[in-house]
Structures are given as C-alpha cells and as structure tokens.
Amino acid sequence: MGPKKHKSSILERKKEVLKGLEDLGAGVYDQMDKGTFPSLEMPSRSTDNIAYDEQFRQFVLGDRRVRRSVRNIRHLKPFTQLVWAALFSDELSSQRKTSTLRDVYYSAQAYEMTFKDQQESNNIITDLETILGFSREDFNIFPEERSAVFGDLTIEYTVPGYEGKTLDLTSHPDGVLIGPALTSSEFVRTSADKIIAIEKGGLFTRFIEENVHKKYNSILVMTAGQAPRATRRFIRRLNEELNLPVYIFTDGDPWGMHIAMVIISGSANAAHLRELNTPDAKWSGVWATDIVNYKLPTDPLDEMDMKRLYELQKDPRYKDPLWRREIKTFMKIKRKAEQEAFSRYGLTYIVDEYLPQKLEETK
Amino acid sequence: MGPKKHKSSILERKKEVLKGLEDLGAGVYDQMDKGTFPSLEMPSRSTDNIAYDEQFRQFVLGDRRVRRSVRNIRHLKPFTQLVWAALFSDELSSQRKTSTLRDVYYSAQAYEMTFKDQQESNNIITDLETILGFSREDFNIFPEERSAVFGDLTIEYTVPGYEGKTLDLTSHPDGVLIGPALTSSEFVRTSADKIIAIEKGGLFTRFIEENVHKKYNSILVMTAGQAPRATRRFIRRLNEELNLPVYIFTDGDPWGMHIAMVIISGSANAAHLRELNTPDAKWSGVWATDIVNYKLPTDPLDEMDMKRLYELQKDPRYKDPLWRREIKTFMKIKRKAEQEAFSRYGLTYIVDEYLPQKLEETK
C-alpha cells in the first residue's frame, strides 16, 4: 500500500469542541435574557438507560433524558459546577493546556468552586462529555496512563511549539508515547497495511526487535493492559483515517479477552460517547483454543477468573460464535496462559510461527 | 553550560558483562578439568548480611558468603539453574535481544530446564546479579514498566539497526520512553544544567507544556511512581556522566518521600548492586513543611500512611535532619497533599512560583 495523505481532522475537531462549549454558555445566557431559569438537558446515564446497539456495535444511551434547572434548588450546585467545568475546559482548550481529572478537582479551588470530593468532579466532567458528545480528552483532560506506538507512520504535531513538525514513529525503538501531543497530531503518511495491538510492554519490545513492523508491514500499538481511552480513540483513528485493519493480541485469560473486547465494542461507562471503539478490530489471540492447540504452559483459572467468565457469558458484546466458543473452552480447560508462554518454544517462535498463523486465521 | 561530549561507556560495559558471563562459565569448566566438583560463591543476601554503608550511601552486603557446590545434592538443581541463567543471559546479550523476568521463566522450558514457579527463576536471576555485580538490565532482562524523559539531550543508540543514529530528547513532546534502547544509548550532548525528576505523568506533561526544560535549563524525568531500576540507573548516569545535579519532586506523603529516597539511597533488595542510586540527588518537595507553608489542600493520613512513617523513622537512610524534620511534621499535621494540589492557585503556579523557590532552597 502506497503512502497516504490524510486531510486535517484534528483542527476541525478542536473547533467543533470549542463551538460546543460556546453554545453551551450562549444557551445559558439566552435563557436568562428571556427571563427564564437556565437549564441544561442530557441523556440519562443510569443503568436502565444503557443498551447495546447492534448498529453502532457498542453500548449507547436510550431516550430517557434528565434536566438540570436552577429553578430546582437541589440542581443549583451541580448546574453551577457544570457551567464552571465548561468554562475551565474552554480555557484549557483555547490556551492549549492539558490537564488531568485530579487537576480539575484542585483547580476548582482557584475559582472558589467547591467539590465535595474527586468523585463529584469526575461526575461533572462526565456530564459535560454527555452534553457535548465529546470525550474529556477532546477538551484536554487526559489520564495518567500512557501507552505507546511504533511503526512506519509519519505524524504532524498540532500542539503549541511543535505545529507543522513531523515525527516518524520508528524514530525511537522503545516506542513513542501516546500522550496529548501524539493523539492531537495529524497522520501524514504510512506504508503499513495493518495495525497490531499488543497488551504487554515486554512483547511490544520483542516485536520491535524482531522487526514485526517490517516483516508484517504493520504499526504496533502497546495498550499497557486495559487501553486508556486516548489509546482506544487513537486505534480507531488509525483504523478509520488510514483504513487499516486492526488485530489485537492479549494474554489468554478472561481479562485479556476483555481488553480486546473494550477496544472493539467499548464499555458501558462510555455509552455516552462515540468513536472510542473499533468495531471491525479482531481479537487474534491468545485464545483458549490456542492454549490447547499450541500446548502452552498454563496456570489454573482461579475463582475470580471463573466468576469473570460467567459475567462475560451474559454480556451482549460476547454473543458472536467465536467469543462464545472461547468462553466455553476456557470453562472446559479451566486454564489460562500468558503471551510470554510461547517462549517455551524459543523467544522468536511467537513472531515467526504464531503471529503469521493468527493474522491469516483472523483476516 | 556548553555542550558536552561524553566518551563511550555503554559498549565498554556490555563487554564487561559478556566477560563476566564467560568467566563464570570458564570457572566451571576449569574446576571440572581439575577433577573437582564445580562450585560458585557469592555474598549472602540474607537480612542479617545487609547493612547501610555510610561511604557508599546505600545498603550493601556484608562479608558472609554462600557457596553452591554440586558436591551437595541439594545444590545440584539451583547450581544448574544458575549456569543455565548465565547461558541464557549470554545468548540475550550477544544476540542483542531483550527479555523480561516472565520470559526467562517460560524460556527455561525451551531448554528443558524447569523452575517450580516464577519466584524461583527470579531468585536465580538475582543470584546471577550478585555473582556478576551487574544488574539484570545489563544482561538485557527488563521490567514491564516504562517511565519517560524530555529535554535538551542528544543520545546515540547502540541497539541493532539504530547504531550511530541520534535522537534529540525534545523530539516528542509527550516525552521519550525509557526502555532498553534508551538506557543502552550514549549521551552525546546537552545544554541542560540540572535534572528534574517528577513522580507523575500529568505533571510531567504540564512541565513540558510550560517549557520548564527551557526556563530552568533542565532535563525532565518522569518516574511514573516508584522509579523502575532502569530509570534509577539512567538518572545516575545523567548525574555522573553529565555531572548534573538531580532534584526530585514527589507527592507530599510517606510514599512520595520514599520514591525520592530510593532514587537517592537505593533499596535493600538491591544491596548486591552498585550504581543504581544517586546519593547526591535532592528531594525538593512536596515536603510536609511545604503543605503548611503553601496552605495546600490536604487529605488526612490514614492508618497505612502512619504505619509507613513509623517504619521510615527507624530506617537508617532517613537519619539526616531534613528527613527527620519532615517525618515529624507529617506526624504532627497528620495530613498529606498531592503535587496537583498546587492547582488551587492556578495551573501554572507550581511552575512559576513553587519550582524556582524549591530549586533554590535545595541547591
């Protein structure tokens, strides 16, 4: 596949976010000008309003809506907090500063705005996400966790001081951190024809050392366990903007399986958001059936693992035959295996034998 | 301070490691040639043989030694495992492949070498460290965790495929991952005159955005909580090879204090190793007295925190007046504060006001 040129999406999106924040503020002013009590409306995020949507292939919110009106004395505080959160997000976005949920909680005090605890401020940020339909990373509130990427992709920064600068993502063989600067960059050019996401740092490094990016023409993403939302969005962008298939490799246990599932189908916690999941991504291993077929060294499934399997069995995201088969097989063999277990056949077996077979099998 | 040119230390060190491994093997052969049962000797790592050394300013092992001889049937297995670990490390080092402790455990099976569990294989690797006086990262066994660095430092890679290539550590504004490739690189040039180590990712990003590297002429290191050993060694190299002072900023609680202490004085677990700690590094904050002086928002110290303070009070590493004063103050105020707490004065207060004061105070 030849180089691709991708038109700007990041700056457009930044503008939309700022527009959304301004509209929110303008709406409040308008209502006051008309002499009515200002109010805000958003879809309810309570459990009974969350359902799995076959079309979007993710959890979505239903039709039920909640309204916060300052006419109601009990709404006065959360309404004010929400408007403050919008103000603060607008400042972050327009000044191009990033922040964390923890920072938001403390920053409130600089504005004499009080939150009982961090849970309260986190909830208000989720309210803001729900109203705007953008995730907090879009208004520059980032998690602490960082994952990484490596491969033939040239990106162009949009962050202050680096505008227009490019970076080739093979520049640093330990991998390139996926932080605010990388997620807000434009994709300029790639020769890769697939994305390979890997759960663990050790294996990510092994893949780089063994030139998986060249041998299999791929961009490698390390999720570092459960992928942070910014990384899930980044994988989606690689899939959508570069039109590349995504293959996910995790440990062979219910937790690894679910790391893949959240990348594919998202989480109930993010039912109010779109574009965090990659519905066409494939879970390529380590499957329970791989454990059997490759005679991997295993550990027994413990009580927590079994409990988790029963939960997954009831989860609407796990209804497809592949997932059902793998859950059943786990329950039958009652064993789990880590990705590193392939080292029993030598350090490069996973790259030379397992990887190509699974890429073919899940194509 | 002008640019510095540093002569090669990494390749020399790699040679020494390989030499150590070969000598170990040759010693075993020699003993067999002479018709004696081969044996290996090393300092004992049992608690009563670990003491704090005032000269090295770290924990060291005492004079008591243990010997593993195949004459003793109970030593046969650990002796064989140890020789295998040396063989495997030699293969990793000469083929320039990296690995993890988990990988070592599984890789043994490829050689029909068995370990009861991972604890057993980890112990054998620590034995090998003790015999050779090099840490496992020196023979290419790395941890999963990754921290990051950012600032005006040009490094030159020594890993295969990147030999001779350089990277400016301001290339990626999310920070550059500290993995096997970075830790095995040579330092070529810097204009920085100090190192600032920071516990948290969010603050690391804030520091980059606020140009702390330029304003305070510094190289920024994110430890990501307790600094991985590779990062502690990296900080030591920055201090030693570039002759730059190191300032450490952590949360204001016993755990943050100890993150700084381990960078400065090392851990009892690594008493068999040198060159992982940076004795002249300074803990610059957040001190208990800072919590008082800056009127920071706080949380109460819980039972675990208090228990930890009593432990630290008895720890020989904490005997200097500064540490004693801070432990006492924590015990008196019974409160803790995170680095983000400074956001109560606005997002840039920590950079504009607190940081320069503390750099001056701990110079």
Helix (H, G, I), strand (E, B) or coil at B188: strand
Q: Encode pLDDT of B135-189 as tens digits.
A: 999 999 988 778 999 999 999 999 999 999 999 999 999 999 999 999 999 999 9
Q: Encode pLDDT of B45-99 as tens digits.
A: 999 999 999 888 899 999 999 999 999 999 999 999 999 999 999 999 998 888 9
Mean pLDDT score of chain B: 93
Cβ atoms B327, B312 nearer than 8 A:
yes
- Res A250 pLDDT > 80: yes
Q: Which of A161, A181, A200 sits opposite B172 (nearest CB)?
A: A181
Give the pair of three-digit tokens for residue B146: 């990754």
* Residue B106 annotated as catalytic: yes
Cβ atoms A182, A176 nearer than 8 A:
yes
Q: Encode pLDDT of B225-243 as tens digits.
A: 999 999 999 999 999 999 9
Q: Using 50, 70 and 90 to split pLDDT, how confident is the model at B2?
A: very low
Among A residues 344-363, those touching chain B with beta carbons less than 8 Å apart:
344-347
Chain A interface, best mutation among B92, B118, B343, by max A CB count within 10 A: B343
Give the whole-angstrom CA distance, residue A276 versus residue B261: 40
Question: End-to-end distance of chain A based on CA atoms, in angstroms?
Answer: 17
| SS percent in chain A: helix, strand, coil, step 5 | 50, 15, 35
- Res B130 pLDDT > 80: yes
Q: Which residue has the higher pLDDT, B144 or A158?
A: A158
Give the whole-angstrom CA distance, residue A276 versus residue A2: 27
Q: Which residue has the higher pLDDT, A35 or A2?
A: A35
User: What are the C-alpha distances in Å from A246 to residues A220, B76, B77, B123?
Assistant: 10, 48, 45, 39
Give the whole-angstrom CA distance, residue B51 versus residue B58: 9
Interface contact B251, partner A, CB < 8 A: no
At residue A96, the pLDDT reads 87
Q: Across the strands, what pairs with B187?
A: B155
At residue A6, the pLDDT reads 45
Q: Encode pLDDT of B317-327 as tens digits.
A: 999 999 999 99
Give the pair of three-digit tokens for residue A123: 């909830």
Mean pLDDT score of chain A: 93
Give the whole-angstrom CA distance, residue B138 versus residue B131: 13
Q: Encode pLDDT of A62-78 as tens digits.
A: 999 999 999 999 999 99
At residue A274, the pLDDT reads 87
Query: CB-side exposure of A66: number of CA atoms within 13 Å?
Result: 13
The structure tokens 């170990």 sit at B24
Q: Encode pLDDT of A330-361 as tens digits.
A: 999 999 999 999 999 998 999 999 999 999 99
What interface predicted TM-score (ipTM) does this complex get?
A: 0.89
Q: Which of B29, B106, B111, B310 is catalytic?
A: B106
Handedness of CA A345, A346, A349, A354 (dihedral sign): positive
Cβ atoms A223, B144 nearer than 8 A:
no
For A15-62, give the secondary structure using H, E and C: HHHHHHHHHHHHHHHHHHHCCCCCEEEEECCCHHHEEEECCCCEEEEC
Helix (H, G, I), strand (E, B) or coil at B190: strand
Give the whole-angstrom CA distance, residue A203 versus residue A209: 10
DSSP-derived letter for residue B350 is I
Cβ atoms B85, B125 nearer than 8 A:
yes
Would you call A338 and B109 a contact, using CB atoms and an 8 Å cutoff?
no
Interface contact B202, partner A, CB < 8 A: yes
Burial class (CB in 10 A: 0-12, 13-18, 19+), A109: middle
Q: Encode pLDDT of A90-146 as tens digits.
A: 999 988 888 999 989 999 988 989 899 999 999 999 999 999 999 999 999 988 778
Give the whole-angstrom CA distance, residue B108 versus residue B118: 11
Burial class (CB in 10 A: 0-12, 13-18, 19+), B289: middle
For range A198-212, the mean pLDDT: 93
- Chain A residue with CA closest to B345: the answer is A110
- Res A41 pLDDT > 90: yes
Give the whole-angstrom CA distance, residue B28 versus residue B6: 37
For range B205-212, the mean pLDDT: 94
At residue B10, the pLDDT reads 83
Helix (H, G, I), strand (E, B) or coil at B162: coil
Interface contact B338, partner A, CB < 8 A: yes
Give the whole-angstrom CA distance, residue A66 versus residue A43: 6
Q: Encode pLDDT of B234-269 as tens digits.
A: 999 999 999 999 999 999 999 999 999 999 999 988
Q: Using 50, 70 and 90 to split pLDDT, how confident is the model at B8?
A: low
- Res A45 pLDDT > 70: yes
Q: Using 50, 70 and 90 to split pLDDT, how confident is the model at A8?
A: low
Would you call A177 and B176 a contact, using CB atoms and an 8 Å cutoff?
yes
- Res A2 pLDDT > 70: no
Helix (H, G, I), strand (E, B) or coil at B117: coil
- Res B7 pLDDT > 80: no
DSSP-derived letter for residue B110 is H
At residue B4, the pLDDT reads 43
Residues 6 or more apart whose Cβ sits within 8 Å of residue A74: none
**Shortest CA distance to B362 belongs to which of B275, B286, B270?**
B286
Q: Encode pLDDT of B30-47 as tens digits.
A: 999 999 999 999 999 999
At residue B277, the pLDDT reads 94
Interface contact A171, partner B, CB < 8 A: yes
Give the CA angle between residues B269, B275, B278 to the nearest 5°.
95
Helix (H) or strand (E) holding A227: none
For range A206-218, the mean pLDDT: 96
Query: CB-side exposure of B200: number of CA atoms within 13 Å?
Result: 20
Would you call B107 and A347 a contact, using CB atoms and an 8 Å cutoff?
yes
